[in-house]
Amino acid sequence: MKSQHALKLLLSIYIFVFFAYLFGPLIIMSITAFNSAEFPAVTPWECFSWRWFTEGKVTYDGQRLAGLLADTKLHDGILTSLRIALGVVALSVPIGMAAAIVLTQVNSKLRTLFYSMAIMPVLFPGVVIGISTVVLWDRIASMTGGGAMADIGRNGVFLTILAQTCFISTYCFLIFVARLQRFDKTQEEAALDLGASQTQVFFKILMPYLMPAIASSAVIAFLYSFENYNTTVFSILSDQTLTTVIASKVRLGISPAISALALVIIAITLTAAISYEVLKRREEKRLAKIKQMQLHQAMPSERLMKNQKTGSRLPKSMFLILLICFGVIAGGNYLASNNLYGEKCIMAADEAKKSNFADQLKLLQQNVGNEGATTPQSGPTTGSQGFNNIFGDPNLFKNFGGFDSKTE
Amino acid sequence: MSADVELQNISINFGDFYAAKDVSVMIKKGEFFSFLGPSGCGKTTILRTISGFLEPSQGQVLIGGENMAGIGPNKRPTSLIFQNLALFPLMSVADNISFSLEVRGHSKADRRARAEELLGLVALEGQGDKKVHELSGGQRQRVAIARALAIEPEVLLLDEPLSALDLKLRQKMRSELRAIQKRVGITFIYITHDQGEALTMSDRIAVMNEGRIEQVDSCQAVYEQPKTPFVASFVGENNPFYGEVTACNNSRVEVLCDGNKFVADISGRYHQESKKLTIGQKIILFVRPESISIKNSKTKTQNSFSARLDSIEFEGHLQNLFLTTGPGMKVRLNVPNAEEISHLTAGQTMDLTFSAQKAVVLPEGNLAVD
Amino acid sequence: MQNFFAKNGPIISTYFLIAIGFWIIFLIVIPQLYMLDLSFRPNLPPLLRGGEEDVYTLTHYKHFLFGSETSKDAYNFVDLNVFFKTLATAVVITVLSLCFCYPIAFYIAKVAEHKTARLLIVSLIVPFWINELLRAFALRILFAGEGVINNALINAGLMDNAINFIGQDVALFTGLTYAYLLLMMFPLYNALESLDTNQLEAAKDLGSSTLRTHWRVVIPHAKAGIASGSTMVFMLTAGALATPVVLSSPNTFWFTQLIYQWFNMNDNWSRGAAYSVLLLLVSVVFVLLMMKLFRVKVGEIVK
């Protein structure tokens, strides 16, 4: 028995560590979004600031680090991603639905083949799907010579929609298959028997039944499309989506603006998850109530009516929310009282840096004067190079330069 | 409007398997007609053929004299009530009922009015706005009936619709169904494996076995004068005695079963099969458990035999006695509960008898498997 | 076919046929076949395509094995190294993910109360919906030279110089594990969830130890889930691009980066195609291997 307790304790610790691993990096990243320093860090903490969500910052050496609101490239990327995602939803939901319905109609031999075919795209590496789409359409475009077909074949948004639809349709397909497994086919027969045409059966019986699957597959397709990188990076060609913008930003140097973006996405996801959960619980409660009412009707016994708890009972989650509010207030108070928030703090920090920078510049000029050498690698001369020594590896941002240097 | 349904030499095969073989039957206008048979006998196949979900491999279906070949289920003047009812769970009760009007493009007001009317017919007034899952089993049953009746079909097909209900409700629904049929006056074709249902509701019954119709007759005739050993053993309880014919004429058959000489009266108009018997032919003589009685006097009468009592089973309104004859035949008989039998003990030998009018002699054949 | 039209009616049948045909033929089969074709052709400028020089050749696959003709090495050690390192790492990460996820999946499926279980599941899903790039970015903040971990360790006085997590590939491996952990979790959870709790109690009642119960009862039951999760994690890890882009050191290539390089930087599409075919081949072989190993159908792997 004692070993059982030890095991349980061990398990609890493990679960805690696991979730800390899962959430820790995200939480830390979220915190760095509020640090006014141009490198995403928790320490040293400069000032609490919203600047990465808004206009960003012009550094002491004149480099412009755009915040979320000011980043037009990012906005364009988001718009492109939105267009692609809508296109993918419009294609993959009907495709997945059609495939799942037909799967229920074919005989068992054909079904295995068809099913394997339909799920294959998920097992393909994303890059492969992107590449195969691009090479095919490039060929089509060059074969047709010029004109509309060539334009389409070299249109990154169009190609990306096709490439993503290839595998996102499978996710939709699987959602529909799961829902259709529980479909009572006699409903279709009943509708037919009552005089409905096949088309009417589809729209009046099958579609309403599939509505939840349509909704969830649309959401899933949208999310998969929106966050896809591996396929998109090939098929988007010269355009930019949200993910390719993020990737190129990360490659060029990490900015707290990305943390801010991540935080926005986390907030949206959390809100969606929580509201979904709340809605689901409410629905479950409603169903339970109906069931109980039915039971009550069938057997009118007072004992069966559960004593509805009366009185004001606050849900436990309220305490959590209160705790968070309290934490935020205390934290804000701390930041304000220590002069770590607001214009003053930021100005002070910038001032300190500028003077620091000026000192270093002077030192540098002295060095240059003394040795007559070129700019040493260790000295922060420009903003982007200034990040280099953060990683202790001057070659880090040659990531893709590294590719270039590799030749046959 | 009501229509007659005629099946002409219907055969339905899936590869080598014949779900129905050479089925011919004429169902009259306004009749409550049942197909009765064990599961897998092909009765559902017949129903699906009439409703148009299956095309017969051979033969044809005529409804109201019209050949239905190539006409889909949505174009036939039939309505089907499914075994699981197949109500549309996402629609309200009223929408379910008026669905057939909806697909025909009737106006909302029309639909509403018709739904209310039908809800009245099945005693569900004012429940139109409920969802299907808010109804009880019996209420759902009635909604299914109302939905099927909404377009005023000429023939209503029912596929064991009562099988999901509990016993009490099932018995109540039987009389309700019968009453509704009388009220609307259309042809009802009912499928069941429950002989009680078939016997209580139907005007006529077709007993089916292995894809064929064994007998089509009134309930009484099917019970009293079965035409085949299968019908005799499937409908109600029956005691079979195997033997052979020793003498026969137009009004009597004498048979010898395991040393017992029995006589059956075949003068009635139903006994066409028995009249064809010849001397020496192998036969089965059937006597219902309620037709066998305990003989109290020692006088020698016809159709008497003795058997040892194995056990007594109490079933409420009657008591079942299980006995074994000398040569090892199992015999069962019912005694009304009112009769005093407490003096009987297991193991004792008793003399039994039955009336020649109550015995049925049929050429040897397969019995229904329990 | 006639049956199909009769069953669905003309309008719906047409929609079905067009949708499925478009998907299977134009999006799945033809692109892959064309890519396969291209991988056997020389890299030619568009004008020369279809001309005399456009003949089938094994040159790209040869390059993968033996390197360029001017190279002195017997084999193409650079590319082969990347290839096998990618595969080996993917296998290691798959196994690690399985080990990490199993206790959690079991806890949620069989031990935790309903409410707790659902809360945990939601908490698992939330990070999953955050873009892979951003999750990798979060790790980069931690692992950077002046990142949170290095700063914390130095401030705590535990060490003097920053550890080069990225250069040592620690960041990359952590990031890849982090990225696809949940694809192991969910199939595993689903499989374990369907296990009848009575079986656990029966095993316990019969005197089986916890470890033995897991080995003999739980794991065999979860076999399809393990196969499914392992396949997904392996495929996604081997085919990952986003995480390596953010977290790999300049000295380390992931195989997908190699493909990217041929494709985008060197503009050698047919070689990129050939390398993609190799990656695809590995994926197919791995799926078949898992199917054979766990005796599951392909339908059980992708659910």
At residue B38, does pLDDT exceed 60? yes
Q: Mind listing the pLDDT tens digit for each residue in B299-349? A: 777 888 888 889 888 888 888 889 998 888 888 988 888 777 778 888 888
Burial class (CB in 10 A: 0-12, 13-18, 19+), B5: buried
Burial class (CB in 10 A: 0-12, 13-18, 19+), B46: buried
Q: Kindly report which listed range (A56-70, A272-286, B294-308, B351-365) carries the lowest average pLDDT score.
A: A56-70
Higher pLDDT, A298 or C258: C258
Q: Determine the pLDDT at residue A407.
A: 33
Q: Is the pLDDT of residue C223 over 90?
A: no
Q: Are residues A121 and A234 in the same domain?
A: yes
Which pLDDT score is estimated for C212? 77
CB pairs under 8 A between A and B: 67
A366-370, B268-272, C123-127: range with highest mean pLDDT: C123-127
Residue C289, chain A, CB below 8 Å: the answer is: no
CB-based contact, C246 to chain A, within 8 Å: yes
Three-state DSSP at B42 gives coil
* B265 within 8 A of B359, measured Cβ to Cβ: yes
A407 contacts on C by Cβ (under 8 Å): 266
Quote the pLDDT of residue A348: 66
Query: Between A and C, how many CB-CB pairs are < 8 A?
Result: 284
- Domains, chain B, ranges and CATH? 5-224 (3.40.50.300), 229-363 (2.40.50.140)
Indicate whether A299 pLDDT > 70.
no
Crossing angle of helices C132-143 and C170-193, in 10° steps, is 130
Residue A6 has pLDDT above 50, yes or no: yes
Give the model's pLDDT for residue B339: 78
Tell me if chain A has a CB within 8 Å of the CB of C118. Answer: yes
Among residues B299, B297, B343, B352, the alpha carbon closest in space to that of B324 is found at B352
Q: What is the average pLDDT across A280-293? A: 77
Question: Is position A289 within any domain?
Answer: no
- Residue of chain C with shortest Cα separation from A197: C9
pLDDT at A304 over 50: no
- Specify if A67 maps to a domain: no
CA distances from C50 to B244, C42, C53 (A): 91, 11, 8
Pair (A240, A370) in one structural domain: no
Per-residue pLDDT reduced to its tens digit, B221-280: 888 888 889 999 998 888 999 988 998 888 888 998 888 888 888 877 666 677 778 888
- Residue-level pLDDT at C272: 80
pLDDT at residue A89 greater than cutoff 90: yes
pLDDT reading at A392 higher than 50: no
Which domain-ending residue is among A198, A232, A254? A254
| pLDDT category of residue C49 using cuts at 50, 70 and 90 | low
Residue C9 pLDDT greater than 70, yes or no: yes
Contacts of A287 (CB under 8 A, 6+ apart): none
Q: Does C19 touch chain A (CB under 8 A)?
A: yes
In a domain, A372, yes or no: yes
Distance from CA of A37 to the nearest CA of C (A): 13
Q: Write down the pLDDT at residue B187.
A: 92
Q: Which subunits have 3 or more CB–CB pairs within 8 Å of chain A?
A: B, C
Spatial contact of B114 and B101, defined as CB atoms under 8 Å apart: yes
Per-residue pLDDT band at A403 (split at 50, 70, 90)? very low
Q: In this predicted structure, what is the pLDDT of residue A90? A: 93
Q: Which residues from A are below 8 Å from B80, CB to CB?
A: 189-190, 193
- A163 inside domain: yes
Question: CA B265 to CA B77: how far, in whole Å?
Answer: 46
- Considering CB atoms only, which of C16, C133, C155 is closest to A43? C155
Strands B17-27 and B292-294: unpaired
Give the per-residue pLDDT at A325. Answer: 74
What tokens does B7 get?
């099946």
Same domain, yes or no, for A237 and A375?
no
Own/partner long-range contacts of B205-208 (Cβ < 8 Å, ≥24 apart): B205/B33, B205/B34, B205/B35, B205/B36, B206/B25, B206/B33, B206/B34, B206/B35, B206/B36, B207/B36, B207/B37, B207/B231, B207/B234, B207/B235, B208/B23, B208/B35, B208/B36, B208/B37, B208/B41, B208/B42, B208/B43, B208/B46
Asked if C299 contacts A115 with a C-beta cutoff of 8 angstroms, the reply is yes
Tell me: pLDDT of A203 over 50.
yes
Contacts of B100 in chain A (CB under 8 A): 194-196
Separation in Å, CA of A13 to nearest CA in chain C? 11
CA distance A354 to A364: 15
- Mind telling me how many Å the CA of C262 is from chain A's nearest CA? 9
Same domain membership, residue A209 and residue A94: yes
Each residue's pLDDT tens digit, B141-154: 889 989 998 888 89
The stretch C248-254 carries a mean pLDDT of 75
A107 in a domain, yes or no? yes
A90-145 per-position pLDDT tens digit: 999 999 999 999 988 888 788 888 888 888 888 888 888 888 888 888 888 877 77
Q: Say yes or no for a CB contact (<8 Å) between A195 and B147.
A: no
A198 versus C158: the higher-pLDDT residue is: A198
**What are the start-end ranges of the H helices in chain C?**
2-21, 30-39, 59-66, 77-106, 114-128, 132-143, 148-155, 170-193, 197-205, 210-213, 219-221, 223-238, 242-247, 255-260, 269-294, 298-301
- Mean pLDDT, rounded, of chain A: 75
Q: What is the pLDDT of residue A373?
A: 43
Q: Give the least confident one: B131-140, B190-199, C74-83, C238-247.
A: C74-83
Q: pLDDT per residue over C84-116, tens digit each? A: 888 888 888 899 888 888 888 888 887 777 777
Query: Are B187 and B222 within 8 A, CB to CB?
Result: no
Q: Is residue A206 part of a domain?
A: yes
Residues of B in contact with A200 (CB under 8 A): 103
Q: Mark whether A76 and A187 lie in a shared domain.
A: yes
Task: Look at residue A376 in the predicted model and tell me its pLDDT.
Answer: 42
Tell me the three state secondary structure of residue B260.
strand
What is the pLDDT averaged over residues B29-49?
90
- Predicted local distance difference test score (pLDDT) of residue C133: 84
**Percent of chain C residues past pLDDT 70, beyond the cut:** 89
pLDDT at C80 over 90: no
Q: Which of B51, B84, B134 is opposite residue A193, by nearest beta carbon?
A: B51
Residue A372 has pLDDT above 50, yes or no: no
User: Domain locations in chain C?
Assistant: 77-301
| The architecture CATH gives domain C77-301 | Orthogonal Bundle (1.10)
From A93-97, B30-34, C60-64, the region with the lowest mean pLDDT: C60-64
Residue of A nearest to C67 (CA): A408
- A316 pLDDT tier (thresholds 50, 70, 90): low
Which of the two residues, B369 and B53, has the higher pLDDT score?
B53
Let me know whether A107 and A220 are in one domain. yes
| Most C-contacting residue of A46, A135, A225, A390 (CB-CB within 10 A), to test interface | A135
Q: Do A406 and C261 touch (CB under 8 A)?
A: yes
User: Using CB atoms, which residue from B79, B102, B134 is nearest to A193?
Assistant: B79
* ipTM value: 0.85
Least confident of A80-89, A172-181, C151-160: C151-160
pLDDT (0 to 100) of residue B71: 87
Stretch C64-79: mean pLDDT, rounded? 70
What residue in B sits closest to A199 (Cα-Cα)? B103
Q: Is the pLDDT of residue A314 over 60?
A: no
Mean pLDDT computed over C212-217:
77
> How far is residue C114's CA from residue A43's CA, in Å, rounded to a whole number?
40
Please give the pLDDT value at position B32: 93
Average confidence (pLDDT) over C233-242: 85
Structural domain of residue A81, as residue ranges?
72-254
8 Å CB contact of C24 and A117: yes
**DSSP 8-state code for residue A124:** S
- Tally the domains of chain A: 2
State the average pLDDT over residues A272-288: 79
Q: Give the pLDDT of residue B175.
A: 87
| Cβ-defined contact of B134 to A200 (cutoff 8 Å) | no
- Which residue's entry shows tokens 């010579």? A145
pLDDT bracket for residue A368 (50, 70, 90): low
Cis-peptide into A44, omega within 30 deg: yes
Pair A223, A358 in one domain: no
Q: Mean pLDDT score of chain C, rounded to an integer?
A: 79
Residues C224-241, mean pLDDT to the nearest whole number:
86
